[in-house]
Structure 1
């Protein structure tokens, strides 16, 4: 098994041609059933739809997306999506996904630091928010380590089966 230092990921801005790789990662994470709200049966996005989504992000002045690339292959991504209401222009939310084999290698931290750096330099963005399953303790620990604070929970927000519920942990970080 390789150590964290063996993984040299390149973090770069998303390109339209990354759509298929991003979609593949999303499908893979959804199949795991532990990290994403949607289930496989209800996630039917196409490469073309992802290309349109990425195009909108690239063209939006308060949104961005970065990918982690290793050996020319996209292995993870992070996106910042803004709020459209004028009184919420200063805030937005992030989502992050990594292929299973590339977790716990420091790549998620690299992606998060990149998006936080982008947000801190942005003339309007002040607050970065996210939501995560309460069972995702490794992610919560990383978010805390990077200065995110829990601002609330939606209790039993997600139902996995008859008697299994998970809270939605809402976290934020001010970058200015």
Structure 2
């Protein structure tokens, strides 16, 4: 199941949390459910509530401005929709365009999602040296893009209505 989007009291997106964490925030009156999964409910001995897709905090939380999305292996896989940058098949690992042995680092612009076979075949070479052109160039997502990408981690499932509305409004 996808993570739950957390909105600030001002309706600004803050982050994503697990469904369990979202339920705890709602039950402790720290958040309210803005959008729920249709037909899904969480039941306990004395309480029943819809499974939250989007929650909004009841109190405003001041967040320091973040210029860049933090790099992570999971973030690269999500950014590239779990598709290999060399062959387009399902990606399970991250490859450095300029290998670390040649001075390449863990950055958004130097890493791409890769299947294990292509990662092994490319080895410690650049794509040009290995004769393996990239199908698409790596890019650095904005912090807001990284959060929206994290919400849509299953490339086979359609995006929920509320997320489509957020993307068209931006």
* TM-score between the two structures when normalised by the length of structure 1: 0.26
Determine which structure has the larger helix proportion and give its number. 1
Determine which structure has the larger strand proportion and give its number. 1
